[in-house]
Structure 1
């Protein structure tokens, strides 16, 4: 476990049940963990499905956290939160109640059997880049700023889905 706080970016999404409430619950669980603290949360976006397109639109957001957890331990925490919220992995890119991806972990490049950071497909996915650009437009990923990656991404069909900036808080729901 690192002895200092590391900044990490997370991508959250879902399209089953109440994805907005599920993401708010996941963000609260992350923030309640002793070794994580929520720094910033993006706007909420409604996005067309990617990969497997015969399903309902998704809702997506990104969050910046600070953590003292190692990268794989952070991934384990995200997976534990997903399981606790009844996430079932049936098919790749299929419908889900909640999905939490570790996008970045400081400036580290990590490749193990379980994790690849930065997330290997985030640079081609506007549904990740758009919310990440809300909170970290100048973050460098693979030699380019998030805002630069976003300028090249297909943003078709993606719309902001929240009325209040703090959509994930109890007072905004």
Structure 2
């Protein structure tokens, strides 16, 4: 059975736009998975006032046959392939892939919380998601537009001319 999932992508080390584009291609090649739509590229300052480079962010809607934890495992393999190291919370990273939503499923486990626990405070996730699915409703019933309206103000810049994903198996 195929499920629509929402994946947030972020990077602030190295060539972040190229890394996000490569990550989308890698997600598209996962077994039983395809990227349906990807947002524009957005830039934002790091969370919690951390002293590090600005982030590049995007959101993708994917259709997948992978179960939530299998998808999480696959996304972590992609992160590792792009040099991801986990040293500190909200630390700088080459690639961060988060499952924001997975169909109509709510989950609260040690490894994965669905919908993503911090989504309501993250304009860098909500705004790109609004771009690709303005009517999105999270599995817990929260409406994207309501969360976006209540989200704390954040500096966010959209780069509309940067194509992250063109579909198919060729690089964007």
Report the TM-score when normalising by structure 2: 0.92
CA contact (8 A) 1:40 1:135 kept: yes
Which residue of 138, 143, 146 maps to 1:145? Answer: 143
Which residue of 38, 51, 54 maps to 2:51? Answer: 54
Is 1:77–2:74 an aligned residue pair?
A: yes
1:98-144 superposed Cα distances (whole Å, 9 cap, x missing partner): 00000100010011121111001011111110111111221112322
| Higher deviation after alignment, 9-18 or 128-137 | 128-137
Q: Unaligned regions of 5+ residues in structure 1, if any?
A: none
CA contact (8 A) 1:138 1:146 kept: yes
What SS does the corresponding residue of 1:128 show, helix, strand or coil?
helix
Is 1:19–2:13 an aligned residue pair?
A: no
Moved over 6 A (4+): none
**How far is 1:152 from its partner?**
1.4
Residue 62 of structure 2 corresponds to 65
**How far is 1:171 from its partner?**
7.2
Residue 154 of structure 1 corresponds to 152
Rounded Cα–Cα distance in structure 1 between residues aligned with 2:134 and 2:160: 20
Rounded Cα–Cα distance in structure 1 between residues aligned with 2:24 and 2:88: 24
The number of residue pairs the alignment matches comes to 168
Rounded Cα–Cα distance in structure 2 between residues aligned with 1:31 and 1:112: 26
Q: What is the CA RMSD across the aligned residues, in angstroms?
A: 1.5
What SS does the corresponding residue of 1:96 show, helix, strand or coil?
coil
Report the TM-score when normalising by structure 1: 0.91
